[in-house]
Structure 1
Amino acid sequence: MEHLNFERGKSLQQAESWIEAEKAYRLVIEENPKSFRALNNLGTVLEQQGKLPDAIESYKLAIHAKPTEAIPHYNLGNAYHRDGQLEAAEASYRRCLEQNPDHVDAAFNLGRALYDQTRLEEALTAYQRAVALDPEYVGGHSSVGGVLIELGRLDEAEPAIRRALELDPNSSEEHFNLGRVLEGQGKMDDASWAYRKALDVNPENTTTKESLGRMLHSAGRQDEAVEFLNEWIKREPDNAIPKHMLASITGENVESRASDDYVRDTFDRFADQFDETLKRLEYRAPSLVMAVLVDDYKVQRNAFGSVLDAGCGTGLAGTLLRPMTRRMEGVDLSSKMLAKAQALNVYDELFEAELTAFVSERHDLYDCVVAADTLCYFGDLEDVVNATFQSMKPGGAFVFTLERMNIEDDGRGYVLNPHGRYSHSEDYARRVLEDAGFKVRAITVPTLRREAGLPVLGLLLAADKP
């Protein structure tokens, strides 16, 4: 019966009848609790049903039954990875490779687990191992090239990406990556060709269109950039992204803040890679805000009754703020970013809303409002700062970051930059705060993050409501 039930389980698994397959494998395990094949396959069907904790336990039992078998280690690594347990995933992939040094997918997924921990050099070594094992592994060559781009080793990245293109000539992703390399090497004509080739394959890819538009502008090909963006707008008249980009590079029709659609679309696309990308950029805004609260305000555990994380994103600031407050709310325009924040279980309540409208409806509610890397999507700060003032209790703290304007002020106090964010002058920010009724406690000029290896200077502001 054990053999019959196992074969029945396999057939049901192949037919994607997960529940019935689970029943069949459990019958095998009842008869033979040490059947590593049934335990391993049970883990797979449990995983397909979204039962990750149960799948992980089943894989562990399979490994206990036969520790020298590579496959359960590999499957356990994948389950840990899906569950966000990156160090455990790494360990499982390494154990799989100990049992089977030629396991290509284990080498590649080890690279992914290391990459997601921002251990780029180690990830590169793992990806290189995968392509050494299988020289025609497109994803391996692509990942080698991608990591080398992030490490700034463009001359090494180029042959890896070109090899991926040899193996998959119609890959939009690899043409895009080639464009990134060529742009970084200053080969703007070739980069333009690569980006346009990527768009030939995938005309709807917003990231590629953004990159081409910004590359043309940075290369001094202003007319070509404007023409490209106008064509994009003509094809997609309701798309906020090319309109915002066009304003950012021409200085014409600049809105007082980025539109809701622009912010929502940008961060919905970015949500899945947001935290990992910012780690690699040495992103510091949440920790800078925290340092002000701890060092300047001497905030201790549960010091605040209510805190608002304004533009909370995936919850990077909220995780740090939670011990300081008895209640914490978050607000953001991006539903996908909010979903990431919700998964952290640190917020009492999350709201999908535009910030100014949201705080305008709240009065004398918050002991502290923080906005880490949020107000750089506002040019004119008056409305949002005034509304924030009325939302706070007397004695409340308002701590936030801006990007620092590095060109001569034309009188407005802010400018929309080609990268799509606004930067502000210190004098303008101080004036807006004081006009709203705040008492400015401190303004400093820290490094917010690094882009292209260079520091991005910001303004870190702390103000009190009397």
Structure 2
Amino acid sequence: MTQEPSSDDGVQISIKEALALARKLHRQSQLDEAEGIYRRLLDAVPEWPDVLNLLALLRFRKKDEEEAIGLLRRAVAMDPNYADAHNNLGNLLKLQGRIDEAESSYLRALELVPEHADAWNNLGIIRRLQERPEAAEEALRRALRANERLVDAHYNLGMLLRALRRYAEAADSLQRVLALNSYYWLAYQSLGSLLYLLGRTDEAVGMYRDWLKLTPDHPVALHMLAACTGDNIPERASDHYIRTLFDAYATRFDQSLVENLHYQAPQRVAEALTRCYGGGANLDILDAGCGTGLCGPMVKAYARALTGVDLSPKMLEEARRRSVYDELIEAELTAFLKSHPAGYDAIISADTLCYFGPLADFSQAAAAALRPSGRLILTVERLPDRGETPGFMLIESGRYAHRQDYLRETLTAAGFTVDILDQTELRMEAGQPVAGLVVAARKNIAGAEPEDAPGIGRLDN
């Protein structure tokens, strides 16, 4: 005979009451208390699929993906017709990159419930990962036929259409998101950039102002409004902006940039490192603004120790999954550099300084963090060297672009010799290449003339 569970104050309650209490605590994010009740329920009824499913979701929130997957497998083993558990299992497998297994879970959910809107939405994501855009679009539209108010499906469809360069349709989908949920800030961010690409800057400005009426201090809205209007421009993107933007973007970052935008900045940094050091080296390398760690595998062969630093904890979680870095640190970049004098032989930075305006403070901090003759290798977006154009500018994309001559002058003033300063393409945007610069600069040796320090010679364009 099973024993009725008790609440924390020792009062005996029914199993039904205990489950209701656990669900309430779970919704209120009182996870430890909810977990205790779920586990006591499983002591009473060891193979209860609903409780296994709920406990799996809770363990996932506690970042224990493996136990969560195990619990969901138990749930579907006990009840093979449990469509929601199959769908949840697919979500966890997808997060681990186990795409084929995730697909099987979603398809099983849809066999059981053909109009399972969430499963269709998730299958659409899988189809996109499989580079099957037509199938992805069909799955997302099936999700919306099953539930026209499924906000995530509208958002995912909008992002797919954007990747397919169907910008006007993408904007329509994202506007539908905001009609359903006016607080869905990722849709504001994506719609604003689409309106910018479509040349509808006035609409973007109006949208950012509407957003700020709802959330007056939202860092992304403030930053993007400044970018579009030219008013109240910050010297660099705020820490709050960076964390908010990239924490939300982390799990989709690699797919969005590498697969959809043909992102080249990490490759350009790795190529410059090879030009500087030839076939190999044994360096203490700092990946400054490492993000999800795209540079890591490309430069690991040169590293005695590879450290990554980034402001976004979610991006660092993705970098940790690569098992490439010896250390990953959450910190603001310039402050971190200032606190590590002569700590590194090389500092690399791919597509990070597009969130900085003036670069003097960063350049001086990087010089201090490098050992003698250490290298700084970086990319920036390129601002044309024309007439009265300033040395840097916050452009309507929300990123800063820098002039080539400004970059050289700033690095030289910080004590570097610029060995490489090449024009390149960093990624695609609206079907057009984004102009960039790849730079390799060598820290001067104290007391030596810059040209006397060992180097590879200048390779400017």
Provide the TM-score with structure 1 as the length reference. 0.69
Contact 2:382 2:401 in 1 (8 A): yes
2:240 & 2:114 partners in 1: Cα distance? 43
- The equivalences for 1:271-286 within 5 A come to 271-281=250-260, 282-286=262-266
1:293 & 1:185 partners in 2: Cα distance? 34
Q: Which residue of 2 aligns with 1:92?
A: none
1:375 to 349, 353, 359: 353
1:454 & 1:151 partners in 2: Cα distance? 24
- The equivalences for 1:406-425 within 5 A come to 408=386, 410-425=388-403
1:256 to 235, 245, 252: 235
Q: Which residue of 1 aligns with 2:26?
A: none
Contact 1:46 1:54 in 2 (8 A): no
Q: CA deviation at 1:135?
A: 3.2
Q: Aligned partner of 1:199: which letter? A: L
1:57 & 1:181 partners in 2: Cα distance? 28
Contact 1:148 1:154 in 2 (8 A): yes
Q: CA deviation at 1:167?
A: 1.5
For residues 305-342 of structure 1, give each alpha carbon's deviation from its aligned partner in whole angstroms, at most 9, with x where no partner exists. x3322112233334554553444443222233234445
- The question of 1:353 aligning with 2:353 is answered no
1:173 & 1:217 partners in 2: Cα distance? 23
1:333 to 301, 306, 311: 311
Q: Aligned partner of 1:310: which letter? A: A
Q: Aligned partner of 2:237: which letter? A: A
1:151 & 1:53 partners in 2: Cα distance? 23
Choose between structure 1 and 2: higher helix proportion. Answer: 1
Identify if the C-alpha distance between structure 1 residues 46 and 419 changes in structure 2 by more than 3 Å, giving closer, same or farther.
Answer: closer
More moved, 363-372 vs 276-285: 276-285
Contact 2:309 2:333 in 1 (8 A): yes
Q: CA deviation at 1:438?
A: 0.8
Q: Which residue of 1 aligns with 2:278?
A: 298
Corresponding residue SS for 1:316: coil
Corresponding residue SS for 1:393: strand
Q: CA deviation at 1:233?
A: 2.3
Q: CA deviation at 1:229?
A: 1.5
Note the residue ranges of structure 2 that are not aligned, 5 or more in a row.
Answer: 6-14, 23-34, 445-461
2:94 & 2:384 partners in 1: Cα distance? 37
For residues 247-291 of structure 1, give each alpha carbon's deviation from its aligned partner in whole angstroms, at most 9, with x where no partner exists. 222334333322222112111212233344444244343343233
Corresponding residue SS for 2:342: coil
Identify if the C-alpha distance between structure 1 residues 118 and 397 changes in structure 2 by more than 3 Å, giving closer, same or farther.
Answer: farther
1:452 & 1:274 partners in 2: Cα distance? 17
Corresponding residue SS for 1:296: helix
For residues 21-74 of structure 1, give each alpha carbon's deviation from its aligned partner in whole angstroms, at most 9, with x where no partner exists. 88899xx9xxxxxxxx99xx9999899768979969989xxxxxxxxxxx7797
Contact 1:43 1:58 in 2 (8 A): no
2:176 to 181, 197, 200: 197
More moved, 415-424 vs 321-330: 321-330
- The equivalences for 1:158-173 within 5 A come to 160-173=139-152
Q: Aligned partner of 1:317: which letter? A: C
- The equivalences for 1:379-398 within 5 A come to 379-398=357-376
2:443 & 2:351 partners in 1: Cα distance? 21
Cα RMSD over matched residues? 4.7
Note the residue ranges of structure 1 that are not aligned, 5 or more in a row.
Answer: 29-36, 60-70, 76-99
- The question of 1:314 aligning with 2:292 is answered yes
2:221 & 2:176 partners in 1: Cα distance? 19
2:145 & 2:53 partners in 1: Cα distance? 37
Identify if the C-alpha distance between structure 1 residues 218 and 153 changes in structure 2 by more than 3 Å, giving closer, same or farther.
Answer: farther
% of aligned pairs identical?
36
Contact 1:309 1:331 in 2 (8 A): yes
2:69 & 2:240 partners in 1: Cα distance? 44
1:56 & 1:193 partners in 2: Cα distance? 37
Q: Aligned partner of 1:337: which letter? A: M
Contact 1:108 1:130 in 2 (8 A): no
- The question of 1:265 aligning with 2:228 is answered no
1:362 & 1:387 partners in 2: Cα distance? 9
Q: Aligned partner of 2:390: which letter? A: R
Identify if the C-alpha distance between structure 1 residues 462 and 291 changes in structure 2 by more than 3 Å, giving closer, same or farther.
Answer: same
Identify if the C-alpha distance between structure 1 residues 295 and 186 changes in structure 2 by more than 3 Å, giving closer, same or farther.
Answer: closer
1:201 & 1:230 partners in 2: Cα distance? 18
Q: Aligned partner of 2:365: which letter? A: A
- The equivalences for 1:130-145 within 5 A come to 131=110, 134-145=113-124
Q: Which residue of 2 aligns with 1:365?
A: 343
For residues 53-100 of structure 1, give each alpha carbon's deviation from its aligned partner in whole angstroms, at most 9, with x where no partner exists. 9969989xxxxxxxxxxx77977xxxxxxxxxxxxxxxxxxxxxxxx9
1:403 & 1:449 partners in 2: Cα distance? 10
1:403 & 1:458 partners in 2: Cα distance? 4
Q: CA deviation at 1:112?
A: 8.3
Q: Which residue of 2 aligns with 1:65?
A: none
Identify if the C-alpha distance between structure 1 residues 112 and 342 changes in structure 2 by more than 3 Å, giving closer, same or farther.
Answer: closer
The aligned length equals: 413
Corresponding residue SS for 2:216: coil
For residues 209-255 of structure 1, give each alpha carbon's deviation from its aligned partner in whole angstroms, at most 9, with x where no partner exists. 11232333333333332222123223323222112112222334333
Q: Aligned partner of 2:311: which letter? A: L
Identify if the C-alpha distance between structure 1 residues 319 and 357 changes in structure 2 by more than 3 Å, giving closer, same or farther.
Answer: same
Corresponding residue SS for 2:277: coil
1:228 & 1:338 partners in 2: Cα distance? 31
Q: Aligned partner of 1:415: which letter? A: M
1:158 & 1:324 partners in 2: Cα distance? 42
Contact 1:172 1:201 in 2 (8 A): yes
Contact 2:309 2:328 in 1 (8 A): yes
Provide the TM-score with structure 2 as the length reference. 0.70
Identify if the C-alpha distance between structure 1 residues 123 and 210 changes in structure 2 by more than 3 Å, giving closer, same or farther.
Answer: same
Q: CA deviation at 1:154?
A: 7.0
Contact 1:111 1:125 in 2 (8 A): no
Q: Aligned partner of 2:331: which letter? A: A
1:256 & 1:148 partners in 2: Cα distance? 41
